[in-house]
Amino acid sequence: MKHILGLLGLMLALNTTALAQDTAEFEYAQQSTEEVILEGTREVTLYRTEYVDSTCTREEPYQINVCADETRYRNECTWIPARNICNTVNDRQCRDVRRTRSECKPGRTRRVCKDEPARRVCRTRNGVERCVDIPGRQNCRDVTGPQVCRDVSYTDRVCQNVPRRVCHNEPGRNDCRNIPYQDHVCRDVTRYRSISYACKEPVQVPYVVNKEFKYQVNFSFNDVDQLGRAAIKLAMDKDGQINISYKDLSESETYLQLISEDQTVLVDTDEEAHIVKNISINFGNLKKLLAPLNATQKSLWMNKGGDFKLKVNDPDNLAGSEIKVSVTKRSSGDLHFAKVFKLSDFDVSNTHLSADLATHGFEQLRGFLGFKVKLKVDISVKVEKPKNLLVPLNLEFEKSKSFNLKVKKN
């Protein structure tokens, strides 16, 4: 009977070992949760602290008498006697001076006339001579007579600087200063020397053990539109760590996004480790994410004051995106205006986005002599790339279109 029970126990142990696995794979097909158990034995290197004989040192203080020259200071004073201090100052003095100047005015104007006689003027054109009689006339002009000048007296103000000597008495005083000198000083100072002594030092000694690892991996899935399908593989590496790989089987419709990941260590000894991991995954709707990029921009109208009207096939698709408007003068290439908007910044109709860009810093455009202004207007629509992607997305998250305009007055 004992032999039979022992054989049954051995078979049960062998069966349990056979069921343990260090890799797993499953397919997500709209289930809300999935639990995966991984078990395996790994040869791992651990370390223990041991103490060995060694020689240590410590710093021991001692006193020593040290002599050296030090700089010190003494106060010395010198008597400076009283004295007169003089300097030159300038006084501004002015006086009136009689002067004369010549004043001239033009002479009387008279009328001078000259008679021009009649004459005959002939010209030949196409071989035919044609003549015209020009009657005589009188040609008159005004002639100014010679200037008449006279001397006129006037008073002029003349100023100059007149120097004078100014003196003041400075009383006697003591002039005191700190004068450095050298003094030979001796004092006791503390120094340190190294003293060796026998001690025990800790060292880390490696050793190898067979350690049993058990992972319980709990997956939870969020898939609002029920579009997702994915293959998930788990494998325990040679160090007993878990590696997880993901393959999106509905990559044309969804994207995989890690919402959260945490783990709890239930047991961790030299012989055994039991760890619980919780992973939450979201399947996002790719069509909804990229919907703003599919909103076709058909035409654009603007004026010099910044009134803006963009025709779009479905404006509501732009919700959740960033809409950047850049205005460049084509004549100079200078950037005139650039700003990032949200859909809520516009007046939205069934077919148009409208806005007064002047309320967002757009400056009035001025064309030469009031003519039209040539502009290049770039409209770019950008959606935010999802964070913590488990499978990379090789997609464009921004779409741009340019319009060449000639804008008129308001």
What does the block give as tokens for 127? 């071989």
* Whole-prediction pTM: 0.58
Neighbours of 373 (CB within 10 A): 21
**pLDDT per residue over 146-190, tens digit each?**
888 888 888 888 888 889 898 888 898 888 899 999 989 999 999
**pLDDT per residue over 317-359, tens digit each?**
899 899 999 999 998 999 999 999 999 999 999 999 999 999 9
Cross-strand partners of 389: 257
Q: Which residue has the tokens 């003095």?
A: 93
**pLDDT per residue over 220-254, tens digit each?**
999 999 999 999 999 999 999 999 999 999 999 99
The answer to whether 390 and 246 are in contact (CB under 8 A) is yes
Alpha-carbon span 267 to 274, nearest angstrom:
5
Q: Looking at 118-132, 258-272, 343-357, which range is the least confident one?
A: 118-132
Closest listed residue to residue 381, CA positions, set 290, 287, 289, 293: 293
Domains assigned to the chain:
37-48+205-286 (no CATH), 96-159 (no CATH), 295-407 (2.60.40.10)
Residues 291-298 have a mean pLDDT of 91
The answer to whether 379 and 359 are in contact (CB under 8 A) is no
